[in-house]
């Protein structure tokens, strides 16, 4: 009986199968985690692209209407495809510089699923050089907030992961972009 146990103990047949059985669950968890992380990174890239493209579209016009703003929201939501867009917050604002006060204030602001900036409020977060120091010069600020939820459940990324980005664009055809009937 002891000789038989010694033979079984020293046997190496099936060791690879046993080692794989120990490693397979760890590899499966790593695979699912990588899928979740890659999906979150792809979503983050789309949020950045949404902010940049929407601000660029609005900055191309000398004036925008409520329809133009609505179309900008729709195009921004299409950028996020295939991620759900139901609670995506997009705030489009025009920030204007006044040489009389030396302040950058909100000329107009509109929001999808959120609160727009208050007209006339001072904006202190504008990076230097974005708005020219000419009276009436402006920049379009688009701020996006998206709450990412993993489509395959939350092993590594549990719950929601808030993502956001802000992007400034200078108007192309005039010093500022007017909002007509917005």
**If you write DSSP's letter for every residue of 25-92 in order, what string do you get?**
HHHHHHHHHHHHHHHHHHHHHHHHHHHHHHHHHHHTSSEEEHHHHHHHHHHHHHHTTTS--TT-EEEE
Residue 30 has a pLDDT of 87
* 131-175: pLDDT as tens digits: 877 887 899 999 999 998 887 766 666 678 899 999 999 998 888
Phi and psi for 7 in degrees, rounded to 5? -65, -45
Kindly state whether residue 174 falls inside one of the protein's structural domains: yes
Considering its fold, how many domains does the chain have in total? 1
Structural domain boundaries enclosing 67: 11-180
Residue 151 has a pLDDT of 74
Residue 86 has a pLDDT of 85
Both structure tokens of 136? 């009436």
Both structure tokens of 73? 């929201």
Kindly state whether residue 5 falls inside one of the protein's structural domains: no
159 phi-psi bin (left φ>0, alpha ψ -120 to 50, beta other): left
Per-residue tens of pLDDT for the chain, all 182 residues: 777 766 766 666 677 778 888 898 999 888 888 888 888 899 999 999 999 999 999 999 989 999 999 999 999 989 999 998 888 999 999 999 888 887 888 899 999 999 999 998 888 888 888 887 788 789 999 999 999 888 776 666 667 889 999 999 999 888 888 888 76
Kindly state whether residue 1 falls inside one of the protein's structural domains: no
Kindly state whether residue 3 falls inside one of the protein's structural domains: no
Single pTM value for the model = 0.80
Cα 22 versus chain centre, distance: 39
Kindly state whether residue 106 falls inside one of the protein's structural domains: yes
Kindly state whether residue 31 falls inside one of the protein's structural domains: yes
Kindly state whether residue 163 falls inside one of the protein's structural domains: yes
Kindly state whether residue 93 falls inside one of the protein's structural domains: yes
Would the CA dihedral through 59, 43, 85, 87 be positive or negative? Answer: negative
Cα 95 versus chain centre, distance: 21
């Amino acid at each position: 009986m002891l000789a038989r146990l010694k033979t079984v103990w020293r046997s190496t047949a099936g060791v690879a199968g046993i080692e794989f059985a120990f490693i397979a669950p760890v590899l499966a968890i790593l695979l699912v985690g990588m899928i979740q992380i890659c999906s979150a990174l792809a979503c983050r890239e789309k949020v950045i692209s949404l902010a940049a493209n929407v601000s660029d579209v609005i900055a191309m016009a000398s004036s925008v209407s409520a329809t133009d703003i609505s179309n900008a929201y729709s195009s921004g939501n299409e950028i996020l495809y295939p991620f759900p867009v139901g609670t995506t917050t997009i705030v489009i604002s025009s920030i204007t510089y006044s040489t009389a006060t030396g302040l950058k204030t909100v000329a107009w602001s509109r929001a999808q699923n959120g609160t727009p900036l208050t007209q006339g409020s001072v904006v202190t977060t504008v990076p230097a050089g974005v708005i020219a120091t000419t009276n009436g010069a402006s920049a379009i600020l688009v701020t996006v907030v998206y709450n990412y939820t993993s489509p395959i459940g939350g092993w590594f990324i549990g719950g929601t992961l808030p993502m956001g980005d802000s992007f400034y664009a200078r108007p192309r055809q005039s010093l500022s972009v007017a909002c007509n009937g917005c």
